[in-house]
Amino acid sequence: MSETHDPAGHNAFDDLARDAVYQAIFGRRDVRSQFSTAPLDDAVLARLLNAAHHAPSVGYMQPWNFIIIRDMARRQAMRELFLAARQQELPQIETERRALYAKLKLEGICESAVNICVTCDRNRSRNSPLGRWHNPQMDLYSTVCAVQNFWLAARAEGIGVGWVSIVDTPALQRLLGMPDHVVPIAYLCVGPVHGFANKPDLERVGWGTRLSLADLIMSDCFGGEGEAELKQIAKTLSG
């Protein structure tokens, strides 16, 4: 009997490598309060940055830069920006959730080993319209892919990452001396941690729950019904 061949799995990782990828995805956390006082080795940091640098980018534009922030005075100034932005955000939170919001730990700017600002240089590929002619924001999306690569690689290395999104963008640009054509995409707190939580913090404290994947799958058009078998498998995966 001739050996059967599965084209779909021909280029797949072996089971251990594949499982490790999913482990990094499912075990990734937005770290705020679990940072340890241990330093972050430059060799590890270089590997994480190299993973980020190998992210997909539309038109191979590679629009990212990585600003490494070690100076504590600058980090404290960033924390002041965060606190001011948080006060501005508070009135936008539903009244019944403001008390919970006030208790949330939403950054580890000064506790983490290092801060990194991932930026997008919007001039880097201005002479190359490939993939951007109809969608000029693709350089921004490409940079977000670099952030995700960095985050998953960090989880595989046992390194925590927390994304500080509560900040006024022009103020951050001034703090880090960015020219106008450079946009901050992610301000990250990075470093060794005591451990990773079993659940995302916001789920653990009751801020939200993970949506059902099956409810998000549509068939052929927005709102399209169908894909019953796929949805059933999705429900099984969700437990």
Q: Encode pLDDT of 13-61 as tens digits.
A: 999 999 999 999 999 999 999 999 999 999 999 999 999 999 999 999 9
Asked if 225 and 174 sit in the same domain, the reply is: no
Is 6 domain-assigned? no
Asked if 138 and 223 sit in the same domain, the reply is: no
Asked if 193 and 99 sit in the same domain, the reply is: yes
Asked if 142 and 227 sit in the same domain, the reply is: no
- Reported as a single tens digit per residue, the pLDDT across 87-106 is 999 999 999 999 999 999 99
Asked if 76 and 130 sit in the same domain, the reply is: yes
Check: pTM over 0.85? Answer yes or no: yes
Please tell me the total count of domains within the chain: 2
Is 143 domain-assigned? yes
Asked if 93 and 157 sit in the same domain, the reply is: yes
Which CA distances in Å does 4 have to 8, 11, 15? 12, 15, 19
> What CATH number does the domain containing 99 carry?
3.40.109.10
Which CA distances in Å does 226 have to 25, 216, 235, 238, 239? 27, 12, 15, 19, 21
- Reported as a single tens digit per residue, the pLDDT across 45-55 is 999 999 999 99
